[in-house]
Chains A and B, each alone.
Chain A
Amino acid sequence: MRRATLCLVAAAAVAAAAPGALKAQGFQVNEHGTCVMGRAGTGVASPCNDASSIFYNPAGMAVQNAGWTVAAGVTVIAAIGNFEADWSAEETKLANNPIPVPHLYGQYSTGKWAAGLGVFVPYGLGTVWPDSFEGRFNGYDNDLRSIYIQPSAAYRINEYVSVGAGVDIVVGSLELTQRVDMTTIPIDGVDPSNGLFGQLGIPYHTDIANADIKGSGATGIGGNIGIWVRPTPRLEIGARYLSRVTLDYEGTAEFIQVQNGIILAPQNPISLQNPALPNDQPLPLDLVVAGAGLFDPGAPLSDQTVTTSITMPDQFTVGASFAVSPTLKLMGEWQWVHWSLFETLEADFEFAPDLLLEENYKNTNGFRFGIDWMASEKINVRGGYLHHQGAAPNETVTPLLPEGDRNEFTAGLGIRFGRNWMVDLAYQFINQDQRRGRVREPFPGDSPTVELNSGVYTFNAHLLAATVAVNF
Chain B
Amino acid sequence: MARRKTYRLMGLAVITGGLLFASCTNDSLAPPTSDVDAMFNRFVTIGNSVTAGFQSGGINDSTQLESYAPLVAAQMGLNDTTEFQLPLLNRPGCPGPFTDIYTQTRVGGGSSSDCALRELRFDHRFNNVAVPGAQVKDVVTNLDPASSPNPLTTFILGGASQLEAALENEPTFVSVMVGNNDVLGYALSGGLSPTAPTAANDFDQDYQTIVNSLVAAGVQGGILVGVFNVTNIPFLSAGQVYAGAQAGAQLPPPPFLTLLNCAPPSPGANSLIPFSYGIPKVDSAAGGANVTIDCLNDAPVLNPTEAGVAVQAIADYNAIISDAAADAGWAYYDPNPTLDSLRAAGEIPLFPTPPPTTEPFGEWFSLDGVHPNAQAHTLIAQKLIEAINAEYGTAIPSVN
Binding site for B on A (CB under 8 A): 84, 86-89, 183-184, 193, 195-196, 198-206, 262-270, 272, 282, 285, 324-325, 328, 330, 367, 369, 371, 384-385, 387, 405, 407, 409, 431, 433-436, 440, 443, 451-452, 455-456
Expressed in whole angstroms, the Cα–Cα distance for A434 and B26 within the complex equals 5
The answer to whether B122 touches A452 (Cβ under 8 A) is yes
The answer to whether A385 touches B18 (Cβ under 8 A) is yes
A selection of 23 A-B contacts at a CB cut-off of 8 Å is: A87-B169, A87-B170, A199-B117, A199-B120, A200-B155, A201-B157, A204-B120, A263-B143, A265-B147, A265-B157, A265-B159, A266-B147, A267-B150, A282-B143, A330-B11, A367-B21, A384-B18, A385-B19, A385-B22, A433-B26, A440-B122, A451-B82, A456-B27
Q: Which residues of A contact B157 (CB under 8 A)?
A: 201, 265
Interface residues of B in 127-169 (CB under 8 A from A): 142-143, 147, 149-151, 153-160, 169
- A452: nearest chain-B partner, CB-CB: B122
The answer to whether B27 touches A435 (Cβ under 8 A) is yes
Question: Max chain A CB contacts within 10 Å: which of B10, B82, B115, B154?
Answer: B154
- B31 within 8 Å of A by Cβ? yes
- B157: nearest chain-A partner, CB-CB: A201
| Interface membership of chain B positions 9-37, coded 1 if the CB is closer than 8 angstroms to chain A and 0 otherwise | 01100110111011011111111100000
Expressed in whole angstroms, the Cα–Cα distance for A328 and B120 within the complex equals 63
Which listed residue, A200, A264, A328, A435, touches B7 by the CB 8 Å rule?
A328
Q: Which residues of B contact A367 (CB under 8 A)?
A: 21
Known contacts A264-B154, A369-B17, A198 near B120 by CB under 8 Å: yes
Q: Which residues of B contact A200 (CB under 8 A)?
A: 117-118, 154-155
Measured CB to CB, the closest approach of chain B to A132, in angstroms, equals 14
Known contacts A195-B117, A196-B120, A268 near B153 by CB under 8 Å: yes
Q: Which residues of B contact A387 (CB under 8 A)?
A: 21-22
The answer to whether B29 touches A84 (Cβ under 8 A) is yes
Expressed in whole angstroms, the Cα–Cα distance for A89 and B156 within the complex equals 25
The answer to whether A269 touches B154 (Cβ under 8 A) is yes
Measured CB to CB, the closest approach of chain A to B136, in angstroms, equals 16
- B138: nearest chain-A partner, CB-CB: A265
Expressed in whole angstroms, the Cα–Cα distance for A435 and B14 within the complex equals 28
List of 5 A-B pairs having minimum Cβ-Cβ separation, nearest first = A385-B18, A262-B159, A265-B142, A265-B149, A203-B124
Measured CB to CB, the closest approach of chain A to B1, in angstroms, equals 14
Measured CB to CB, the closest approach of chain A to B38, in angstroms, equals 13
Expressed in whole angstroms, the Cα–Cα distance for A195 and B25 within the complex equals 43
Measured CB to CB, the closest approach of chain B to A403, in angstroms, equals 13
Expressed in whole angstroms, the Cα–Cα distance for A456 and B24 within the complex equals 15
The answer to whether A405 touches B25 (Cβ under 8 A) is yes
Q: Which residues of B contact A267 (CB under 8 A)?
A: 149-151, 153-154
Which listed residue, A204, A409, A435, A455, touches B121 by the CB 8 Å rule?
A204
Question: Max chain A CB contacts within 10 Å: which of B15, B42, B151, B158?
Answer: B158
Known contacts A201-B156, A385-B18, A434-B26, A89 near B31 by CB under 8 Å: yes
Measured CB to CB, the closest approach of chain B to A225, in angstroms, equals 28
Known contacts A266-B149, A324-B10, A371-B11, A183 near B120 by CB under 8 Å: yes
Expressed in whole angstroms, the Cα–Cα distance for A265 and B164 within the complex equals 14
- A434: nearest chain-B partner, CB-CB: B26
Q: Which residues of A contact B123 (CB under 8 A)?
A: 204
Binding site for A on B (CB under 8 A): 3, 6-7, 10-11, 14-15, 17-19, 21-22, 24-32, 42, 82, 87, 90, 115, 117-125, 142-143, 147, 149-151, 153-160, 169-170
Expressed in whole angstroms, the Cα–Cα distance for A262 and B29 within the complex equals 31
The answer to whether A436 touches B27 (Cβ under 8 A) is yes
Q: Which residues of A contact B147 (CB under 8 A)?
A: 265-266
Measured CB to CB, the closest approach of chain A to B81, in angstroms, equals 9
Expressed in whole angstroms, the Cα–Cα distance for A303 and B216 within the complex equals 46
The answer to whether B3 touches A198 (Cβ under 8 A) is no
- A384: nearest chain-B partner, CB-CB: B18
The answer to whether B120 touches A263 (Cβ under 8 A) is no
The answer to whether B118 touches A199 (Cβ under 8 A) is yes
Expressed in whole angstroms, the Cα–Cα distance for A202 and B119 within the complex equals 11
Which listed residue, B7, B115, B124, touches A324 by the CB 8 Å rule?
B7
Which listed residue, A88, A184, A206, A434, touches B27 by the CB 8 Å rule?
A434
Q: Which residues of B contact A456 (CB under 8 A)?
A: 27-29
Q: Which residues of B contact A371 (CB under 8 A)?
A: 11, 14
Q: Which residues of A contact B7 (CB under 8 A)?
A: 324-325, 328
The answer to whether B159 touches A264 (Cβ under 8 A) is yes
Expressed in whole angstroms, the Cα–Cα distance for A321 and B30 within the complex equals 45
Q: Which residues of B contact A202 (CB under 8 A)?
A: 158-159
Q: Which residues of B contact A201 (CB under 8 A)?
A: 87, 118, 154-158
Which listed residue, A87, A193, A324, touches B125 by the CB 8 Å rule?
A87
Expressed in whole angstroms, the Cα–Cα distance for A200 and B115 within the complex equals 10
- B6: nearest chain-A partner, CB-CB: A324
Measured CB to CB, the closest approach of chain B to A3, in angstroms, equals 39
Q: Which residues of B contact A196 (CB under 8 A)?
A: 120
Q: Which residues of A contact B21 (CB under 8 A)?
A: 367, 369, 385, 387, 407
The answer to whether B143 touches A433 (Cβ under 8 A) is no
